[in-house]
A and B are shown apart, each in its own frame.
Chain A
């Protein structure tokens, strides 16, 4: 799975497209871990291009959130499609992961 990244005000914004499921979740985690730097104030996953995330994908988000919390780096997701938002709501992940409407919102909150 391809990811694109950009840094704004010390916040790393990661864009991904397609589905995150058991077939690519490990690779997704590795590619994110490869780009996150200790200097980042915050990390945001922009889910604008993601139309589905399975429980294996949610687990990757959880692993990231735990890792970043230890480094005291802010973390959140943004631009969720309605179906992905529903998955976050049902699983209760909306209560443990910060969700922002847009990348700009996330950056201004985590910078």
Chain B
């Protein structure tokens, strides 16, 4: 078996590993003849700058060298040596440098020691008397494996970095969403977002405007990932900046649209529903940039969608107008703003949650508060989806006019 392996291996004439610096190989053997022999038989790769060799007489000396020279790439070690043998050395190497590859030199046909060496992490073995052609091939193959291993480690590190960036983007996205809601005797407000696993682009905002008016915005950026979250950040900042004071919602969307459309090479866009609520009268004046129409839910659980007023998603066409609509919340009415993560949530049968199921929630369970409304929506979507993974952010922003 050992001889089969030998002959196959000596036929291996694969390319040497590519590198830009000499690989450093530590040879561990108590026979003093080996050092000059190796330097002589390996003189070509040494002269061409491919390899450099270090030598140790036993395991203890080898560990000292490995500690002192962390740039050693591989170890070629005999088994039988005084003080510390090769098999013990093999056990110790990973604690000094886990990325080192080891090749063991064993007596011809000594399968028991070879098996022990492989079990202790040796990459390969060569047999005595040393066949230097075989040794050259074994060293080349071992170093090739080491290079591939290092490349795999590097890509894994890059993936970790990328994942960290996505996590940071996701945290930024969530950190800008208000989690404290204005408390008032005339109205209640609650909002919540459940992000999908990818960084998404949903956001909402609640703005305290002049004369106690409240600005309510819900938005969904096309696509996902870091670029979408950057687009979301600028959309949200522009919206907030434009809405300050008390301009008309149609004007707000028109201004934000024009700013977003300038130099929008990526063809990203954002759907936004923006409304201004007047607590004294219950009036809601709104404009819609391509977003799902909110649901107006009455105290008895009946509901209807807010009339459509046209309007294109923001970031696409400059200079387009945004028409306004208006509804009035009666005491006990609730207005639910949501993103398509709600209505387009899927179950195992590939069915969408849809608008009918959304309306059905409240027929049996009329809203008692803004928070209760959102919790009912999330609960219904979760039980509908079952274990089906969430593919989009799910966001709800609800305002209820308190009766009495």
* Residues of chain A at the chain B interface (Cβ within 8 Å): 21-23, 25, 52, 54-56, 58-59, 62-63, 66, 83, 90-93, 95-96
> For residues 286 through 307 of chain B, which have their beta carbon under 8 Å from a beta carbon of chain A?
289-293
The 8 Å CB contact of B222, one of A56, A90, A92, is A56
In the docked arrangement, what's the CA distance between A96 and B310, Å?
12
B220 contacts A55, CB within 8 Å?
yes
A90 contacts B316, CB within 8 Å?
no
In the docked arrangement, what's the CA distance between A56 and B311, Å?
19
B268 adjacent to chain A (CB < 8 Å): yes
The 8 Å CB contact of B312, one of A21, A22, A55, A95, is A95
B316 contacts A96, CB within 8 Å?
yes
A92 contacts B223, CB within 8 Å?
no
B222 contacts A55, CB within 8 Å?
yes
A59 contacts B312, CB within 8 Å?
no
A91 contacts B290, CB within 8 Å?
yes
B220 contacts A93, CB within 8 Å?
no
B145 adjacent to chain A (CB < 8 Å): no
Closest B residue to A89 using CB positions: B308
B340 adjacent to chain A (CB < 8 Å): yes
- With contact pairs A22-B391, A91-B313, A95-B310 given, residues A59 and B223 touching in the complex (Cβ less than 8 Å): yes
- With contact pairs A90-B293, A93-B312, A96-B317 given, residues A22 and B344 touching in the complex (Cβ less than 8 Å): no
Contacts A/B (CB < 8 Å), 9 sampled: A22-B391, A52-B344, A52-B352, A59-B222, A59-B267, A90-B271, A91-B312, A96-B312, A96-B316
Q: How many of B's residues come within 8 Å of A, CB to CB?
A: 27
The 8 Å CB contact of A59, one of B268, B289, B340, is B268
Q: Mark B383-404, 1 if CB is under 8 A from A, else 0.
A: 0000000011000000000000
- Known pairs A55-B220, A56-B224, A90-B291; list 16 more (Cβ under 8 Å): A22-B224, A25-B223, A52-B352, A54-B344, A54-B392, A55-B222, A55-B271, A55-B340, A58-B269, A59-B223, A59-B268, A59-B269, A62-B267, A90-B271, A92-B311, A92-B313
How many pairs of A and B residues are in contact by the CB < 8 Å rule? 62
Query: Smallest Cβ distance from A79 to chain B, in angstroms?
Result: 20
Query: Smallest Cβ distance from B270 to chain A, in angstroms?
Result: 9
B198 adjacent to chain A (CB < 8 Å): yes
A92 contacts B391, CB within 8 Å?
no
In the docked arrangement, what's the CA distance between A55 and B272, Å?
13
- Which residues from chain B contact A62 at a C-beta distance below 8 Å? 267, 269, 316
A92 contacts B290, CB within 8 Å?
yes
A21 contacts B269, CB within 8 Å?
no
Give the 5 A-B CB pairs with smallest separation, nearest first: A92-B312, A55-B222, A91-B290, A92-B290, A59-B222
- With contact pairs A22-B224, A55-B223 given, residues A93 and B391 touching in the complex (Cβ less than 8 Å): no
> For residues 326 through 364 of chain B, which have their beta carbon under 8 Å from a beta carbon of chain A?
340, 344, 352
> For residues 58 through 76 of chain B, which have their beta carbon under 8 Å from a beta carbon of chain A?
none
B391 contacts A21, CB within 8 Å?
yes
- With contact pairs A52-B352, A91-B313 given, residues A22 and B223 touching in the complex (Cβ less than 8 Å): yes
B289 contacts A92, CB within 8 Å?
yes
